[in-house]
Amino acid sequence: MPQPAPQAVTPAPAPAQVPGDALAFPAPSPSAAAKGEAEIAKAESTEGPPAIALLDLNTATAAELNRLRGGGNIGRAIVAKRPYAQVSDLLSKRVLSRAIYERIREQVTVR
């Protein structure tokens, strides 16, 4: 039975040598430091993203009400049963199911 021919093994390349001082972080330039401080001041002065606007059940259009997250096409039903004294009137007037009401109640208000 013939034996397989030995395969040549090539050694792995040696890792590149890096000078010791190249591993340290470079010192920031004065203009970079000033820019960084300006970014920090800008970040501290912002108050975050604006709050989500609540839709008033008595004044919102059917199209606006249809865009409520989790509501589906509920705009016409809400508009048809106006006026509302409180958000929970959507349940007491039998406008929405409890499941849909629970999904949209944090997005609407009555003024």
pLDDT of 78-108, one tens digit each? 999 999 999 999 999 999 999 999 999 999 9
pTM summary value: 0.54
Cβ 62 vs Cβ 75: under 8 Å: yes
Q: Which tens digit of pLDDT belongs to each residue from 7-19? A: 666 666 666 666 5
pLDDT at 23 exceeding the cut of 60 = no
Domains of the chain, first to last: 55-109 (1.10.150.320)
Whole-Å CA distances, 20 to 8, 24, 84: 36, 8, 73
Q: Is the peptide bond before 2 cis (omega within 30 degrees of 0)?
A: no
